Amino acid sequence: MQHFNFSLTRRLIVAALAATTVTAPITSFAQSAWPSKPVTIVVPFPAGGGTDAFARPLTATLSKNMGKQFIIDNRGGAGGTLGASVAAKAAPDGYTFFLGAVHHAIAPSMYPKLDYDIEKSFVPIALVSSVPQVIVVNPQKVPANDLKGFIDAAKKADGKMNYGSAGSGSSHHLAGELFNGLAGTKITHVPYKGAGPALVDLIGGQIDVMFDGMGSSAGHIKGGRIKAIAVASDKRAPGFPNIPTAAESGLNYKVSTWYGLWAPKGTPADVIAKFQAELKKAYNSDELKTIWNGLGAETPDVYGDAFGSFVTSEIKRWGEVAKASGAKLD
């Protein structure tokens, strides 16, 4: 006859029930204590570009406010889609986020075989900034002082003038093709692996022009290394009141570059909510407002589903632009 140790069995059952009871609170506590270790922000372009220009002060502010490091992981290539792919495959544990841009709303129209879906592989967190595109030139290679002079010079060059972009399918690329169509110019596209490397060559005179986001060009414009011809918006950019709009010269040329934050799908909702609260705190600080103004932007107030709806509308809009411009991957 088999004998049972009822005292031992009872102790094991009580222990098991206790473990079951405390498991959920421990998990919840771990998430409420987020972040308990460094957080990685995947930036899909090299240092020196517009995405990086906003990512660095933002991560510095978050690190200071939250007491944990927010680390930038620059993963440039393929018009920003390489970094997006890396972020989409990251563990959804609240310790990896993706800081993408308008390029990722364009990519579905330009890259037919993406291994991620910006709407299905991620959860939208918040808009980071929105800046107008600015036409910038190397002043030694393009001695124009206004938009009319620039268009005249481009037409005379007849295909020999070139413009750099952050990569095929980037907003810089489509902005250039849109400009060619509107102005009747034939400026030749030269793709790079990010706006940073393209700007280095613009300053060095290896390329003539960029249709760049104000965020990455701002410091170089202020430093006199490149010349701003016009901004592609209805109104002049914050912090740059002396740069005219394209509309002031009679050209209906409007292009903006925006940047945003996403989390890999499956990231805990309470972590996302806490991150959004910290972003709102950062955006409302005088420090970031001043930095954003210096980059030609204002701090935003668009989060969650509202940001997701905006991205959906941008995918549709840029799909139409890509089709109308006839832009192709180089």
Q: Tokens representing 134?
A: 């600015």
pLDDT of residue 155: 97
In CATH, the number for domain 39-131+258-325 is: 3.40.190.150
Instruction: For the chain, give every domain's residue range.
Output: 39-131+258-325, 132-256
DSSP characters for 150-174?
HHHHHHHHTT--EEEESSTTSHHHH
For residue 6, give the amino acid letter: F
| Both structure tokens of 293 | 């103004």
Res 20: pLDDT: 40
Regarding the domain delimited by 132-256, which CATH topology (the fold level of the hierarchy) does it fall under?
D-Maltodextrin-Binding Protein; domain 2 (3.40.190)
The overall average pLDDT reported for the chain is 89
Indicate the SS3 state at residue 132. Answer: strand
Residue-level pLDDT at 6: 36
Topology alike, domains 39-131+258-325 and 132-256: yes
Confidence (pLDDT) at 163: 98
Pair of tokens at residue 133: 């595109």
d(CA 29, CA 95): 16
Model pLDDT for residues 84-119, shown as the tens digit of each residue: 999 999 999 999 999 999 999 999 998 889 999 999
Residue 330: predicted pLDDT: 65
Pick out the chain residues at pLDDT < 70. 1-32, 330
Q: What is the DSSP string of 54-118?
A: HHHHHHHHHHHHHSS-EEEEE---GGGHHHHHHHHTS-SSSSEEEEEETHHHHHHHH-TT-SS-T
DSSP letters of 230-293? EESSSSPPTT-TTSPBSGGGT-----EEEEEEEEETT--HHHHHHHHHHHHHHHTSHHHHHHHH
Q: Which pLDDT score is estimated for 11? A: 43
Pairwise CA distance, residues 25 & 245, whole Å = 56
